[in-house]
Amino acid sequence: MHRSHRVAGALVGSAVGDALGAPFEFGPPGQFSARFPVPARGAKTEMCSGGPVDREPGEFTDDTQMALLVAQSLLANDGLDEADLFDRFVRWAEAEPPDIGAQTRAVLRCGAVAAAEHFATTGRAAGNGSLMRATPAAIWFSRFGTEATMDAARRISALTHGDPAAGEGCAIFSELMRVALDGGDPLEAVPSALALVADERRERWATVLAPSWTPADATESNRAVWPTLGQAVWGLRRGRDFAEVMRLIIDLGGDTDTVACVAGGLAGAVYGMGGIPMRWSSAVHGRVPGFGDQRWGLADLQELAAALDGKPLVKYEPGVISRIGPTEVLPGIWAGNLDGARYSAEDFAVISLCRLGDPFPHEVHRMAYVADNEWNHDLDAVLADVLDDLAALRADGRRVLVHCHGGASRTGLVLRGWLVREKGMSVEEATAHVAERWPHLGLWNASFTAALERLRPAEG
C-alpha cells in the first residue's frame, strides 16, 4: 500500500472514531451493537446524534479539534513550537468548546507552567486527553525516526498533562503509528516501543499492552491513559478490519469517542484510507472553536494529512468541466461526470468516485477512495463497500447517482459491478449492457475488470 493511503487513513480514521464514538460517550457497554446490530448503510448510518453534547451526525469532538490545532501549529512553524501550540490551545479553550476535558481546561486557564503544578498538587493527571490528539504529530515526526517521534509526543503531552505516564502513552502510541505508516505491524512493535519507556513506568504499560490483556483486566476507567491505549491496541489485535475495530471499541462503553479516536488512528494507518467504510469517512466533519468558521470535511483532512507527511498543502481545485449527465443508465441508478453530479437535483443520493474540490450540497453523499489507475490498494474491499451502500440506498427508495471525474472508467466499474453482483451477469455481459446505455464508459483499467471477475453474485 502506498504510504499516502496510510497517512490519510490515520488522520481520517482518528476523526471517524471520534465522531462515531461520540453519541455513546460515558454510556454502558454494548450500546453500539444494540443500536446497530448490523451495518447501517442506507441514508441513515451509524453516524448518529446523541451523547452528552448535542451534535450533528458525523460531527467530531474536542479530540479532533485539538488534533487539528496540533496539525496547524506544526505546519505553521515547520515543526514543534510549544509556545505557539499552547497559545492555540488557550485560544480554543477560551471559545468554550462544550466538551473540553476537566484537566485540560484547568491547565489552559492557568498558563503554561500549570500542567506540572496541577499534577504536583492533585497527583491525578494521567487522563487520556493528551493521547486523543496525538495522531498529527505522530504523522509529522514519523519521517524523522523513533527518537524524534517519541520525544515530540512527550513534549506535546506535557503542555496539558503533567503526569509523565500520559506522555509515555503518547510516545508509545506515536512509535506504533510510525511503524504502521512505514508498512510494518504496530502490534509487533509493542516490545521495542516499551523498551524505550522510562524504567519506572514500563511495567504498567507492558501490562496493558500484553497480548493476554483484555478490557476486563483494566484497573481504572477508560478516561485514564493506560486502559485507553490498552483498549485501542486490544481492538486492533482482535478486529479483522477497520469497521470491526470500531465496533469492538465502542461496545466497551465509557469514553467511547476518545478510545475510538485513538484506535481509529492506528487502524486507519494499518488498513489505509480505502479500508475506512465510505459512509463514515464521508460524514465526518466539524469546526474548531476559536478558529473561525471553517467547516472541516473529508477532503480537508486528507489534504492536511498529506501536508503533515511533508507534501505541499494544496486545496484541490478541479476547475469547471462541461457537464455529462445525470442519465439513468440502470433502473434507479444514474451516471454522470463531476459537474454533471455537482449540479444535479439535490434529492439524488450521490456516490463520488473522484476528488471533488468544493463539497456538494446533497444531503446523502458518499465519497469512495478510488484512483483512475492500476494502483488502488484492496480494490475488492472498496468496490464491495460501494456496492453494499448502493444496494442499501436503492432499498431505501433513493435515486442513486454514481459519478467520477469523467464518468468513464470508475463510474463504469461500479455500474458493471452492480450488474455482475445483483443481476448475475458475466463481466462481458455487464460491460456490453452498460456500453449500450452509457457511451462514456471507459475500459482502460485492466485491474478494474480483474476485480469484476472476482465478484460473486449476491446471495438471494
Shortest CB 26 distance to Mg ion, Å: 10
Shortest CB 250 distance to Mg ion, Å: 13
- What residue type is assigned to position 317 of the chain? E
165/260 with CB nearer Mg ion: 260
Options 30-38, 111-119, 250-258, 302-310: segment touching Mg ion (CB under 5 A): 250-258
Does the bond joining 326 to the residue before it have cis omega, within 30 degrees of 0?
Answer: yes
Shortest CB 450 distance to Mg ion, Å: 42
Distance CA 296, CA 16 (A): 12
CB-CB neighbours of 60 under 10 Å: 27
Binding mask 51-90 for Mg ion (x = CB under 5 A): ----------xxx---------------------------
Shortest CB 129 distance to Mg ion, Å: 9
127/167 with CB nearer Mg ion: 127
Binding mask 16-55 for Mg ion (x = CB under 5 A): ----------------------------------------
Options 50-58, 251-259, 369-377, 439-447: segment touching Mg ion (CB under 5 A): 251-259
Nearest to 351 by CA among 416, 306, 398: 398
Nearest to 394 by CA among 47, 39, 41: 41
DSSP for 101-116, written as a single string = -HHHHHHHHH-TTHHH
27/272 with CB nearer Mg ion: 27
- Order the strands of the 349-352 sheet from edge to edge: 327-330, 333-336, 400-403, 349-352, 365-367
Instruction: Tell me the residue nearest to Mg ion as measured from the CB.
Output: 61
Shortest CB 18 distance to Mg ion, Å: 6
104/376 with CB nearer Mg ion: 104
Shortest CB 25 distance to Mg ion, Å: 7
228/376 with CB nearer Mg ion: 228
- Is the distance from CB of 325 to CB of 403 less than 8 angstroms? yes
260/333 with CB nearer Mg ion: 260
- Is the distance from CB of 427 to CB of 420 less than 8 angstroms? yes
Number of H helices, E strands in the chain: 21, 5
Query: What are the φ and ψ backbone dihedral angles of 296, each rounded to 5 degrees?
Result: -85, 130
How many residues line the site for Mg ion (CB under 5 A)?
4
Shortest CB 62 distance to Mg ion, Å: 4
Residue 168 found at the interface with Mg ion (CB under 5 A): no
14/61 with CB nearer Mg ion: 61
- Using CB under 5 A, pick the residue from 46, 168, 175, 257 that binds Mg ion: 257
Phi and psi based region of residue 2 (left: phi greater than 0; alpha: psi -120 to 50; beta: remaining): beta
Distance CA 15, CA 25 (A): 15
Interface positions with Mg ion (CB under 5 A): 61-63, 257
